[in-house]
Amino acid sequence: MGKAAAGLRGELRELVAENVPADFLGAFTDDPADLETAQGFCRVLAERGLLCLAWPEEYGGAGASVWEQTVVREEMWAHHEPRGAQYMGVNWVGPTIMRHGTAEQRSRHLPPIARGEVIWCQGFSEPDAGSDLASLRTAARRDGDGWRISGQKIWTSYATMAQWCFLLARTSKQEKKQQGLTIFLVPMSDPAIEVRPIDCMMGPHHLNEVFFDDLKVTEADVLGDVDGGWKVVQEVLSFERVGIARYARCERLLRLAPEVLGDRWDDLPDELRGRWAGALTRCRRARLLAYQVVAAQDRGAVRPGDAAAYRIAVTKLDQESAEVLMEIVGSAPPDGEQGRIFRREVEDHWRYAQASTVASGSIEVQRILLARAMLAAS
């Protein structure tokens, strides 16, 4: 992984310790102070050139190695993602605009992302288009020199706080449903957009419905080619080969458990401590599978099957570790302030983990991708 990456890990941990309260559980809570913490932390990262570390220098980044990017992913997720929703803008909205945006789109959107000032949401899923994304029906029709967009998106994270939406809509009906889709960059402040939050077990701001009622956009809001959106979406997914470093939070909480429980750790059933050891083993396994993909990424030769195998392993790990940790804190509730914080972290982890095999491409889709790779002619 190298010295630069190891040094970066230390720097990030120090910054988290200095700037993020010990009981921080993410930016998306009912307490506005948490969002402020995330925004402040993004400014700190941006000042040090750490927010867009992976971006090319011309856009305010540092051209960091894939290993440094891995360290950022791990440390941020391990500490409840103190960047808030920024990872979406930084990890793929920005890079996609760099690649497909016009000069005007690049100068308009990239600097605010690099400064951590703007939140993006992703307008992909619809009530009848989840894993089968290309079936989406939100439609954009030509209107003079622009477009009118109508339709509904669902499960849209951060839509209540986002300033911009990376929206996928149907612009024509063609032979294949993957054809005729186009990406629009639309401002969420437009009155033709209505956001309705959905109460859910992950907490506020995670799931929303977004309605577009004859939203007027211009040609300048189209990203890439009209009807060429599917290709861009595939690229977006390739930016997210490794995705969230879920193993980092699992491992951090599993490591902390005996420290927080103290002598009560020894009273846990042997079988539970065995499951704890097994979960730690699978943390290592998921991490190494991720590193295999990262190393291949570094060589420019990621095999789709490897990325899918990692994602299957890590999402299952998320749920398994959540069950083990919940049983640990249930069997011997830890005391004191550290114990209180740990119980909240574990409970939060458990709720989040329920979605890990569904969010960002379901585990079934990953299995289909892996099976395709395995059964392809050798």
For other proteins, the binding residues (CB under 8 A) are 1-3, 5-6, 9, 13, 17, 22, 71, 78, 251-252, 254-256, 258-259, 265, 270, 273-274, 276-278, 280-289, 291-292, 295, 305-306, 308-309, 312-313, 338, 364, 367-368, 370-371, 374-375
CB of 370 to other proteins, least distance (A): 4
CB of 355 to other proteins, least distance (A): 20
In this complex, which beta carbon is closest to other proteins, that of residue 132 or of residue 259? 259
Q: Using an 8 Å Cβ cutoff, are 83 and 90 in contact?
A: yes
CA distance 247 to 314: 6
Kindly tell me which of 23 and 214 has the beta carbon lying closer to other proteins: 23
Taking the least distance from each CB to other proteins, the nearer of 244 and 294 is 294
Task: Report in angstroms how near the CB of residue 1 gets to other proteins at its nearest.
Answer: 5
Residue 99 beta carbon to other proteins: minimum distance, rounded to whole angstroms:
30
Closest approach of Cβ 371 to other proteins, in Å? 4
Task: Kindly list the distances between the CA atom of residue 299 and the CA atoms of 29, 74, 79, 250, in Å, as whole numbers in the listed order.
Answer: 40, 21, 29, 28
Nearer to other proteins, 197 or 274 (CB): 274
Least separation in angstroms between residue 27's CB and other proteins is 20
Taking alpha carbons only, the member of 215, 35, 32, 218 closest to residue 123 is 215
Q: Which of 325, 327, 355 is nearest to 342 (CA)?
A: 325
Quote the least distance from Cβ 293 to other proteins, whole Å: 11
Q: Helix, strand, or coil here: 360? A: coil
The C-alpha atoms of residue 149 and residue 146 are separated, in whole angstroms, by 10
Q: Which is nearer to other proteins, 149 or 261 (CB)?
A: 261
**With respect to other proteins, which residue has the nearer C-beta, 210 or 250?**
250
Integer Cα distance of 367 and 188 in angstroms: 35
* CA 136 and chain centroid, separation: 21
Nearer to other proteins, 106 or 273 (CB): 273
SS3 69: helix
Identify the helix (H) or strand (E) that includes residue 146. Answer: strand 146-154
Instruction: Give the span between the Cα atoms of 264 and 272, in whole angstroms.
Output: 13
> Considering the complex, what minimum distance in angstroms separates the CB of residue 316 from other proteins?
8
Tell me how far CA of residue 80 lies from CA of 20, 83, 332, 344, in angstroms.
Answer: 10, 9, 24, 12
CA distance 319 to 359: 13
Residue with tokens 């005391």: 335
Measured from the CB atom, the residue of 105 and 356 that comes closer to other proteins is 356
Distance of CA 74 to the CA centre of its chain: 12
Of 233, 355, 360, which is closest to residue 307 (Cα–Cα)? 360
